[in-house]
Amino acid sequence: MTPREQADEIAGLIGTRLGVGGNGLDAKVKKAGRLLPRRIRRDAELLSDAARISEHPRLSRMANPTDTTRAYRDCKRFLIRIDGSERIVRFALGLVTANAFNFLAVSAVLIGVLVWRGYL
């Protein structure tokens, strides 16, 4: 598998698993931002650089195939484990818990003020 094919596959996985748009691996990694851990972002950038270098006949010898293969393997392993529906459920659960805490805090302050003023 060439570095270009590896980069295209990782870009496709980032698009489907994380829902990030963009053309090419560079754009998708940049848009994904903190959705990807630093190590995976670094590996994806290495893959992108290797894909760009491999298109040039003389520079293609600079790409280290073992590093490229390792980066591809690590990126793919991470992205395969991501479940899109689980991400949505976790986001919704975080939103609900944050709002529930805010509601409880405001209610406690309101009850405290009502007791302090003598209405309760």
Tokens coding 17: 């698993």
User: Quick check: pTM over 0.85?
Assistant: no
120 residues of the chain, pLDDT tens digit each: 888 999 999 999 999 888 888 898 999 999 998 889 999 999 999 999 999 998 888 888 888 889 999 999 999 999 999 887 888 888 899 999 999 999 999 999 999 999 999 988
Other CB atoms within a 10 A radius of the CB of residue 91 amount to 10
The residues spanned by each domain of the chain are: 1-82, 83-120
